[in-house]
Structure 1
């Protein structure tokens, strides 16, 4: 049986008709790489539901690697997130109308949770293929950050989050994710040196 790589995106939110992160996850579903099969899924943009749906997917597929995707419309390119914070501070309501402010992701969880993916290597691989990519130190305080923080508490050997910019369509995202996943599978440890940006 092939090992599973779980890739998630989000449904549209904020009045948008589409969300390319979710569309890319659908495109990647069933893709096979290096003896692993990709399972793509779309999460609800709902604070009360997204972490539960993610846990159910992990329980069902038992992935060896989890990469969650999310749209950051004001950014450009690919942003490999390095840290999630234990804070929800929603600038807009989610798709169920909830807009929590100054709330923890997990009252019993750590203040921050770090990715277990080789994000520097993944960003470098993306740049080598001509994509705009960097490491990011701010996943925000919306559902993306909530899911990232929740993901790091799940029983997955390697997990993390990738924000995609508003300049990318679903097919470009899917192509970039394949590059990023290949780099993650090729690197047991991350590259040395500094990398990244706060925004």
Structure 2
């Protein structure tokens, strides 16, 4: 298994590498995907990679518009989009984007589509073109908690993932995908009941977290793995349910 320490450097002659993260949503003042993306881009530039970070609005319409502008402006060869999956305990490398918008909460513009397609004329799903299994293996070797995920949900992250893969077919992009990150150490407290008895009362319960430095390094590793001209691992890492 080849880990991040031996990953081939990105060829500076190639098209830029684009990383995207999201603004805060659902009333939170923080979204760890954006600082992770910013720090990852900085670390990649320090390694000679032409890396760009772009922040997206957490809205169905706006995220696609900003993505399209970024693709036109930077003409990247690799795109890795990143979003928050609060409650997860591992960095989740997403495998499938589905043609579905079904929002449990409104986006930041108040839109809350229910059971609508991302693209009425599009396919049911797209697969990531990142070497997803290789990325997960490299993250685990670097002792960063990671998993392969078969669902990016049905909110703005999945919408953006689907839109990205559709646009990758007709743009400079040759490799693209989406990675969900858990909360970092700046996570807010979530309302919840701690303990087994009702008289414990409602007390803030912490979200599972992964240090922000690890989240940034996870994106660096993912980017370097995506830049390597090597096929994905041919070994099982799926799910029974």
Same fold (TM over 0.5): yes
The alignment status of 1:84 with 2:126, answered yes or no, reads: no
Q: C-alpha displacement at 1:24, in angstroms?
A: 1.4
Asked if 1:25 corresponds to 2:37, the answer is yes
Pair 1:12-2:54 in alignment:
no
TM-score by length of 1: 0.94
- In 1, the alpha carbon distance for the partners of 2:218 and 2:239 equals 19
Q: Is the 8 A contact 1:134 1:197 kept in 2?
A: no
Runs of 5+ in structure 2 lacking a partner? 1-11, 184-208
Alignment deviations for residues 5-45 of structure 1 (CA, whole Å, 9 cap, x no partner): 10001000011110010111222334327653110111000
Equivalenced residues, count: 199
State the 1:153 CA deviation: 1.2
Aligned to 2:222: 180
Matched residues in 2 for 1:71 and 1:197: separation? Answer: 22
Map Cα deviations across residues 110-166 of structure 1 (whole Å, 9 max, x no partner). Answer: 100001110000000000000111111000000000000000012210000001112
Distance in 2 between residues matched to 1:198 and 1:102, nearest whole Å? 25
Alpha-carbon distance between aligned partners in 1 of 2:19 and 2:138, rounded to the nearest angstrom: 18
Matches within 5 A, 1:55-134: 55-134=68-147
- Determine which of 186, 189, 198 is the counterpart of 2:231: 189
Q: Distance in 1 between matches of 2:33 and 2:94?
A: 15
Alignment check: 8 A CA contact 2:18 2:53 kept: yes
Q: Could you tell me how far apart the structure 2 residues matched to 1:11 and 1:81 are?
A: 20
Unaligned runs of 5+ in 1: none
CA distance in 1: counterparts of 2:63 and 2:237, whole angstroms: 30
User: How far apart in 2 are the matches of 1:125 and 1:47?
Assistant: 32
In 1, are the aligned partners of 2:99 and 2:117 still within 8 Å (CA)? yes
Pick closer, same or farther for the CA change 1:198–1:96 going to 2, 3 Å: farther
- What is the rounded CA distance, in whole Å, between the counterparts of 2:240 and 2:101 in structure 1? 18
Offset at 1:175? 1.2
Tell me the CA shift for residue 182 of structure 1: 1.5
- Asked whether the 8 Å contact 2:98–2:125 carries over to 1, the reply is yes
